[in-house]
A and B are shown apart, each in its own frame.
Chain A
Amino acid sequence: MDGLTKAIELLISFDPEVMEIAGRSLSISGIACLLASLICIPLGSLIHFHHFRGKRVLINIIHTLFFLPTVLVGLFLLVLLSRTGPLGFSGILFTPTAMVIGQMILITPLLLGLTISALSGVSDEIVDTATSLGASGFQTVWLVLREARYAMLVAVLIGFGRAISEVGCAVMVGGNIKGATRVITGVITLEAGKGNLELAMALGIILLFLALIINIVLNRLQQR
């Protein structure tokens, strides 16, 4: 109880360390989510609007990767980016850049799968209507994307939620370096381990608060 009171004090007083960590979490996950969206929305559209052999298999693989373990992505990147690894020369291991890449990899299948689902939710009749009203192929795709805009936004928010709440990859490729790569989940793990529950709790509350906001927005969107 004492820990919770102190955590709330840290939040109310806008404790610089808490704010810095929360800000970093938001920016890393936000950028990862934005970049993943920029890749997944066009790629998802491409997969949805084209008929090719193995499409069903590809979609099944994407769905399977929804459950990609975060530590596995961390491990993969660690091997890749470590000094002796194939991309070691980049020198981005234990930097926010590596964390952004990690989270992007983590949420790409999710965003891709949900984008395809969102587009599949737009009926074929809408596509036919647009085509018969004289829309070109690109104009039809754009209209379908607009029709699916709420479902796509839900996909992006779910992706953001997964990115900001993951811990394995962020710690493995970020290194949890104070003042550089510490994010909410990493700090909670570290500080809780050290017995410093106030900071862990304060950050936990922020994470829950973010989840609450995302949930409210999702509910609003799903009602449209």
Chain B
Amino acid sequence: MSLIEIAGITHRYDERVVLQNINLSVDRGNVFALIGPTGAGKTTLLRIMDLLEVPGKGEIYFDGKCIPRSGKQRLEIRRRMSFIHQKPQVFNLSVYDNVACGLRWRGEEKDKIAGKVDHILEMVGLEGYENRNARTLSGGEAQRVALARSLVLEPEVLLLDEPTANLDPVSTAKIERLISYVARQRNTTMIMATHDMSQGQQLAGMIGVLLNGRLVQTGNATDIFHSPQNEEVAHFVGMENILEGIIVANDEGIATVNIGGNAIRAVSNHPPGKEIYACIRPEDITLALSSTQSSARNSFQAKITQVIFLGPLSRVEIDCGFRLVVLVTKISAEELNLRAGREVYATFKATGVHIMKREISQ
């Protein structure tokens, strides 16, 4: 059964609609990532789930019960959750008092509080920081205090809003390790907003894509990243090759798609004549200097138009009658001596092409 469920939530700030008819349910013990660009409504949705805001329309169910729009019951339910805000706000108190405050508010005994705080500070690597004023800590340390302050409460639901935004890679890795440790060890239900897709992919079992206040697609990482539902999602999840085409034939689920006069094969059930988008992830395309025998159904001779080095990867743009972006490792790019003007062969599988129906704009 769902631990937290959202039914038909619509919310406005003044006249601006920030959330539009959101329906979502998260089962106990699951980690759910809300991904979407800045301003998509992720924070507002988390705030509504944490009962910090009352939605304009719609209901929230916690453990099967509908949460009232006001009253004492909201505090009781809120005390079963915890929310880590994007910008960690530590109180102008010692680290110990920061971590202990939630327990004190719940009326826990002093001895129990001391034991729990010591344990959690050790877990987040802040032992020995008890008496430091939390305002004197670095961003990464403050985020760990915020995490400790929430985890010490042993919440049933942990809401995280961009938990690693503005942190350096080392602090980010620490926080991510902690989050996945807690999710595994304590079976805590987590709902996390992030614009970092790899983080969502790495930490969450289920992902929801929130675009312009609408929950456009929900599914596991493979669904979201390899089978986006529409052009908007495809763009957001880094599907760089979105090609307009039309199905010209379909032979038992292997469709032939005409892309500007070039035919590619794709796995699809769409009938001939259907206007579609063919999406190919840049990392699903391989480059070679000569035509090779392969099980892949699509192979094209192409000319490199641009090579950009991006750390361990290289982004190669090719023209094979239509434009494609390919990601190859830096080592491969060097071995193949990839540079603008060079002739290459681009190969990709029919299963590597995701077909989406094209919405005809009015």
Q: Are B102 and A136 in contact (CB under 8 A)?
A: no
**Residue among B47, B82, B92 making CB contact with A133, cutoff 8 Å:** B82
B150 at the interface (CB under 8 A from A): yes
With A132-B50, A133-B101, A136-B105 in contact, is A123–B78 under 8 Å at CB?
no
B28 interface hit (Cβ, 8 Å): no
A129 to chain B: which residues have CB within 8 Å? 85, 89, 91, 146
Question: Is A128 in contact with chain B by the CB < 8 A criterion?
Answer: yes
Residues of A within 8 A of B47 (CB): 128
Classify chain B: how many residues form its interface, as a range: 20 to 34
The answer to the question of A60 belonging to the interface, with a C-beta cut-off of 8 Å to chain B, is no
> How far in angstroms is the closest Cβ of chain A from B137?
15
What does DSSP make chain A's interface, helix, strand, loop or mixed? helix
Chain A residues within 8 Å of B82, by CB: 132-134
- Chain B residues contacting A136 (CB-CB under 8 Å) are 75, 105
Q: How far is the CA of A147 from the CA of B87 in the complex (A)?
A: 17
Q: Please state if B105 and A133 are interface contacts (CB–CB under 8 Å).
A: yes
Q: When A133-B82, A133-B150, A134-B153 are in contact, do A128 and B52 touch as well, CB less than 8 Å?
A: yes
- Taking CB as reference atom, which chain A residue is nearest B133? A224
Determine if B85 and A133 form an interchain contact, defined as CB atoms under 8 angstroms apart.
no
Nearest CB to that of B83 among chain A residues? A132
* B contact residues around A133 at 8 Å (CB): 82, 101-102, 105, 149-150, 153
Q: How far is the CA of A125 from the CA of B91 in the complex (A)?
A: 10
Contact with A along B209-252 (1 / 0, CB 8 A): 00000000000000000000000000000000000000000000
Expressed in whole angstroms, the Cα–Cα distance for A132 and B81 within the complex equals 8
Q: Is the CB of B89 within 8 A of A123?
A: yes
Pair B91/A134 contact, Cβ less than 8 Å: no
Residue pair A147, B92 in contact (C-beta under 8 Å):
yes
Count of chain A residues with a beta carbon within 8 Å of a chain B beta carbon: 16
Chain A residues whose C-beta falls within 8 Å of the C-beta of B85 in the assembled complex: 125, 128-129, 132
- The reply on A139 being an interface residue by CB < 8 A is yes
Question: Is B105 a contact of A135 with CB atoms below 8 Å?
Answer: yes
Query: B149-192: contact bitstring with A at CB < 8 Å (1 yes, 0 no)?
Result: 11001000001000000000000000000000000000000000
- Are B52 and A132 neighbours in the complex by a CB distance under 8 Å? yes
Q: A118-139 toward B: CB 8 Å interface, digit per residue (1/0)?
A: 0000010110111111111001
A85-122: contact bitstring with B at CB < 8 Å (1 yes, 0 no)? Answer: 00000000000000000000000000000000000000
User: Contact between B52 and A131 (Cβ–Cβ < 8 Å)?
Assistant: yes
Chain B residues near A131 (CB, 8 Å)? Answer: 52, 78
Q: State the Cβ distance, A130 to closest chain B Cβ, in Å.
A: 8
A143 within 8 A of B: yes
CB nearest neighbor in B for A144: B91
**CB pair A134 B87 closer than 8 Å:** no
Do the beta carbons of B50 and A134 come within 8 Å of each other? no
Given A133-B82, A134-B102, check contact A125 B52 (CB 8 Å): no
Contact B106 A125 (CB under 8 A): no
Q: Which residues of B are at the interface with A, using a C-beta cutoff of 8 A?
A: 47, 50, 52, 75, 78-79, 81-83, 85, 87, 89, 91-93, 101-102, 105-106, 146, 149-150, 153, 159
Q: A132-B82, A136-B105 are in contact. List 16 more A-B contacts (CB 8 A).
A: A125-B89, A126-B89, A126-B91, A128-B52, A128-B89, A132-B50, A132-B81, A132-B83, A134-B78, A134-B102, A134-B105, A134-B106, A135-B101, A143-B101, A146-B93, A147-B91
List the 8 shortest-distance A-B pairs measured between CB atoms, nearest first.
Answer: A132-B83, A134-B79, A133-B102, A125-B89, A129-B89, A135-B105, A139-B105, A132-B50
